[in-house]
Chains A and B, each alone.
Chain A
Amino acid sequence: MVLATQSPALLDHFDAEEVVVVERDEGATTLRRLVPAELQDWLAEYSLSELYDKNVLGGRP
Chain B
Amino acid sequence: MKRLYVVVEGSTEESFVRSRLRPHLVDRGASLVEPIVVTTARSRDGHKHRGGGFWKNWRRDIEEIYKRASGPDAWVTTMFDLYGLPADFPELEEIRGSSDPEKKVATAERALERAVQGFADGRWFVPYVQRHELEALVLACLDDLRRMLDSKADLQGLSALSAEIGETPPEDVNDGASTAPSKRLVRHLPGYDKVVYGEYALCEVSMLALAQRCPHFGRWLERLVAIVSSTVA
Whether B60 contacts A53 by the Cβ 8 Å rule is: no
Residue of A nearest to B37 (CB): A54
Number of residues on chain B facing chain A (CB within 8 A): 17
Residues on the A chain within 8 Å of B35, using CB: 55
Residue of A nearest to B65 (CB): A56
B14: interface (CB < 8 Å): yes
Q: How far is the CB of B49 from chain A (nearest CB, A)?
A: 15
Whether B36 contacts A49 by the Cβ 8 Å rule is: no
Number of residues on chain A facing chain B (CB within 8 A): 13
Tell me the complex Cα distance, A37–B232, Å. 32
Tell me the complex Cα distance, A60–B64, Å. 20
Residues on the A chain within 8 Å of B60, using CB: 45
Whether A50 contacts B43 by the Cβ 8 Å rule is: yes
Q: How far is the CB of B4 from chain A (nearest CB, A)?
A: 13
Q: How far is the CB of B61 from chain A (nearest CB, A)?
A: 8
Taking CB atoms and an 8 Å cut-off, the chain B residues in 36-70 that contact chain A are 36-38, 40-43, 57, 60-61, 64, 67-68
Taking CB atoms and an 8 Å cut-off, the chain B residues in 15-44 that contact chain A are 18, 34-38, 40-43
Q: How far is the CB of A40 from chain B (nearest CB, A)?
A: 10
Whether B40 contacts A50 by the Cβ 8 Å rule is: yes
Whether B36 contacts A41 by the Cβ 8 Å rule is: no
Name A55's contact: one of B36, B41, B64 (CB within 8 Å). Answer: B36
Tell me the complex Cα distance, A29–B95, Å. 46
State whether A55 and B43 are in contact (beta carbons under 8 Å apart), knowing that A38-B68, A41-B64, A42-B64 are contacts in the complex.
no
Whether A41 contacts B42 by the Cβ 8 Å rule is: no
State whether A46 and B43 are in contact (beta carbons under 8 Å apart), knowing that A53-B37, A54-B37, A55-B34 are contacts in the complex.
yes
6 chain-A/chain-B pairs, Cβ below 8 angstroms:
A42-B64, A45-B57, A49-B42, A50-B43, A53-B42, A60-B14
